[in-house]
Amino acid sequence: MLSREDQRRFDQIARHLRTTDPEFVARLGDQPATVRNRAAIVTSVLLWAMIPMLALFGGWIAAVICTVALSAAGVLALRARRW
């Protein structure tokens, strides 16, 4: 765990690196996040594709509940993502 000052300095260095050498940061840092994001997108698409089948076999109430849950999860994922 970094102290407040160390965390502030680390963030400052990272911000400087992102602005001065974005290619290095792209090569170094975002691979695991990209894999996680891709897996989340694929899972979300598959779940959304299952809603019509759920409506057909489970009824409209089950489909509506699933749709609301997926929408809420999408909103939370977008809010948590760093832009």
Average pLDDT over residues 8-21: 85
**Residues composing the chain:** 83
Indicate the pTM of the whole model: 0.45
Taking residues 39-56, report their average pLDDT: 79
The more confident residue out of 19 and 40 is 19
C-alpha closest to that of 48 among 73, 62, 65, 67: 67
pLDDT at 45 > cutoff 80: no
